[in-house]
Structure 1
Amino acid sequence: MACGGFVCSKTSLCILNLIYVLVSLLMIGVAAWGKWFGLVSSFRVMAAVIAVGFFLFLVAIIGLCGAVKHHQVLLFFYMFILLLVFIVQFSVSCACLAINKEQQNLLLEIGWNKSESMQNDLETSLNCCHFSHVDYNGTCDASCFKDQTCKTCSVIIQAYADDALQFVGGLSLFFSFTENTQTN
């Protein structure tokens, strides 16, 4: 049987919003799990991920209710919210893909200087000391510090950051266009 008109749009919109509901619940669950088990020490990062997951959940519920009930006002606000999300997400994805090594290093150093507990966590987990130069007269939580064979954390983090920015930028660009196709 052919799918045409509003029935096909309704079905595809419901399926897409159910996927968004699952993704939002996954984001909230993984963030809460990571904080609960102490995998991430930054409360702000976890709170931001949970807030984004909750926002995505609310937007998906608005879209789902609007599609199921044929409610034009809900669908209008759903499309308007998705347009705003598209603009922000497209801008962030372009910034992730366009950032160069010097800008990455500057942003990483600013982030490094924000939290001492994060520095200790990174030094322990990445087995590196300090950000731009290793000072063996100071203190460091890494196991390589005793042997005095540590690399700087900026070198290790930079390798991860470059790959992560390319991946997140590309994925965000892809999903920004899936959101854009819903608004048209």
Structure 2
Amino acid sequence: MIILGLVFISQFVISCYCLAMSRSQQTDVISASWWVMSNKTRHEMERNIDCCGLFNHTTLNQDYTCAAICMKTNTCLLCGEKILKHSDEALKILGGVGLFFSFTEILGVWLAMRFRNQKDPRANPSAFL
């Protein structure tokens, strides 16, 4: 029961944070992870998502060329905008599902407290042992 209560609290807090995460916080996380990636990983991501650069095309310098297919037509979108759109949707879904399951854990805690000292499960729960 105590462990279930602790799981509820942690899941509730994480779900609320997912739902409350602002666009600027998402941008900070995406920017930090973009610059940690190797060039090979960036090329692979640009090829898979079909975009160039993070939040502007000026991040592309002479040493770095975009690996996206859209470079041939010169109509590339920014990777940051595509990633932000996807992450915003994913965070809302994760937050909603997390809140749903955290409230079902409340039901589990309540049931555990209600029936923890009952000797016979078919007995009247209102009766004194």
The offset of 1:115, in angstroms, is: 2.1
Q: Quote the residue 1:166 is aligned against.
A: 92
Question: 2: distance between equivalents of 1:160 and 1:103?
Answer: 15
Q: Tell me which amino acid in the other structure corresponds to 1:179.
A: E
Aligned to 1:132, which of 48, 55, 59? 55
Max Rg structure = 2
- Is structure 2 residue 30 aligned with structure 1 residue 102? no
The CA distance in 2 between the partners of 1:173 and 1:110, in whole Å, is: 28
Give the direction of change, closer, same or farther, for the CA distance of 1:118–1:82 in structure 2 (3 Å limit). Answer: farther
**Aligned partners of 1:123, 1:88: CA distance in 2, in Å?**
35
Percent of residue pairs identical? 39
1:183 is matched with which residue? 109
For the residues of structure 2 that align with 1:119 and 1:163, how far apart are their CA atoms?
Answer: 22
**Structure 1 residue 119, shift from structure 2 partner:** 2.4
- How many pairs were matched up? 106
Report the secondary structure of 1:149's partner residue: coil
Q: When you count helix as a share of all residues, which structure comes out higher?
A: 1
Q: What is the CA distance between 1:165 and its match in structure 2?
A: 0.8
Q: Cα–Cα, structure 1 residues 173 and 149, in superposed 2: closer, same or farther, change >3 Å?
A: same
* Change over 3 Å in CA distance of 1:89–1:120 after alignment to 2: farther
Please give the alpha-carbon distance, in whole angstroms, between the structure 2 residues aligned to 1:105 and 1:159: 11
- The TM-score normalised by the length of structure 1 is 0.53
Shift of residue 92 of structure 1?
A: 0.8
Judged with a 3 Å threshold, the aligned counterparts in structure 2 of structure 1 residues 174 and 152 are, in CA distance, closer, same or farther, namely same
Identify which of structures 1 and 2 has the higher relative contact order when contacts are C-alpha pairs closer than 8 Å and 6+ apart. Answer: 2
CA RMSD of aligned residues (A): 1.7
What one-letter code is carried by the residue in structure 2 that aligns with 1:141? A
CA drift of 1:136 comes to 7.0
Aligned to 1:115: 37
Q: Distance in 2 between matches of 1:100 and 1:147?
A: 34
The two structures have a TM-score, normalised by structure 2, of 0.73
Match of 1:86 in 2: 8
Structure 2: 5+ residue runs without aligned partners?
A: 111-129
> Post-superposition shift, 1:139?
1.1
Q: Which runs of 5+ in 1 are unaligned?
A: 1-78
**Alignment-derived partner of residue 42 in structure 1:** none
Distance 1:172 1:127 in 2: 31
